């Protein structure tokens, strides 16, 4: 046995899980009675690599093309499809997605920050996290011919606003508004 609780025990021992039926089966939460509110989430991730891979990305010499543009577009596309990848995730009408892809020579590597925004009945944390994860995977794919030892690290929710649970900030302090203009940060060399 794997040590996991049987589904009939899940509700009893973990009563805060809203995605479980009374019998302990996974189900999608009904959000139809919830009011629509402005919601925003920011997630991050990073790809740590050898210096030569970062240098190739910065010089635009990756065999597959512009690493920064591909990762940015992949992250945006992923946010729009999070509900197709995550079984109990609601399909949301996203009003904005911003993905910043920034080189960091101190890693060496590339940092990703993804933000998603909607006016809806449920949050956009999964969309922001999916965007960050897929942007990081795209960076790996674009540079794997140079460095297969790259690692994807630190996929995490940084901030969320809106909804019944209110605001959350990993740092304990609200972040600057991430969805104003071009997310307020500079992306890779060819933005």
Report the side by side order of strands in the sheet with 168-169.
94-104, 109-120, 37-48, 151-161, 168-169
Q: Is residue 28 part of a domain?
A: no
Residue 31 pLDDT class (50, 70, 90 cuts):
confident
Domain that holds residue 80: 35-169
Cα dihedral angle (135, 130, 49, 172), rounded to 10 degrees? 120
Question: What is the set of active-site residues?
Answer: 141
For 11-165, where are the E strands, in sequence order? 37-48, 94-104, 109-120, 151-161
Q: Specify the pLDDT at position 34.
A: 79
Of 87 and 152, the one with more pLDDT = 152
Q: Average pLDDT of 178-182? A: 50
Q: Is residue 13 part of a domain?
A: no
Q: Is residue 156 part of a domain?
A: yes
Could you check whether the bond before residue 83 is cis, i.e. omega within 30 degrees of 0? no
pLDDT tens-digit map of 1-16:
455 555 544 445 555 5
Question: Global pTM?
Answer: 0.81
Q: Is residue 78 part of a domain?
A: yes
Q: Is residue 179 part of a domain?
A: no
CATH number for the domain spanning 149: value is 3.30.70.640
Q: Is residue 155 part of a domain?
A: yes
Of 126 and 172, the one with more pLDDT = 126
Q: Is residue 39 part of a domain?
A: yes
Residues of the chain with pLDDT > 70, as a percent, come to 76
Q: Specify the pLDDT at position 130.
A: 98
Q: How far is CA 57 from the centre of its chain?
A: 22
Task: Tally the domains of the chain.
Answer: 1
Q: Is residue 3 part of a domain?
A: no
- Whole-number mean pLDDT of the chain? 85
């Amino acid at each position: 046995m794997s040590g996991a609780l049987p589904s009939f025990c899940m509700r009893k021992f973990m009563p805060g899980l809203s995605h479980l039926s009374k019998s302990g089966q996974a189900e999608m939460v009904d959000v139809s009675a919830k009011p629509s509110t402005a919601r925003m989430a920011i997630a991050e991730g990073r790809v740590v690599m050898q210096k030569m891979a970062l240098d190739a990305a910065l010089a635009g010499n990756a065999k597959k093309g512009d690493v920064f543009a591909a990762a940015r577009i992949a992250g945006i596309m992923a946010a729009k499809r999070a509900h197709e990848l995550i079984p109990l995730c609601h399909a949301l009408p996203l009003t904005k997605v911003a993905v910043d892809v920034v080189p960091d020579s101190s890693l060496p590597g590339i940092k990703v920050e993804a933000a998603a925004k909607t006016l809806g009945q449920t949050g956009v944390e999964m969309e922001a996290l999916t965007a960050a994860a897929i942007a990081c995977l795209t960076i790996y794919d674009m540079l794997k011919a140079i460095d297969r030892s790259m690692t994807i690290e630190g996929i995490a929710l940084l901030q969320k606003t809106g909804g019944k649970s209110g605001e959350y900030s990993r740092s304990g302090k609200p972040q600057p508004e991430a969805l104003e203009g071009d997310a307020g940060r500079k992306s890779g060399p060819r933005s």
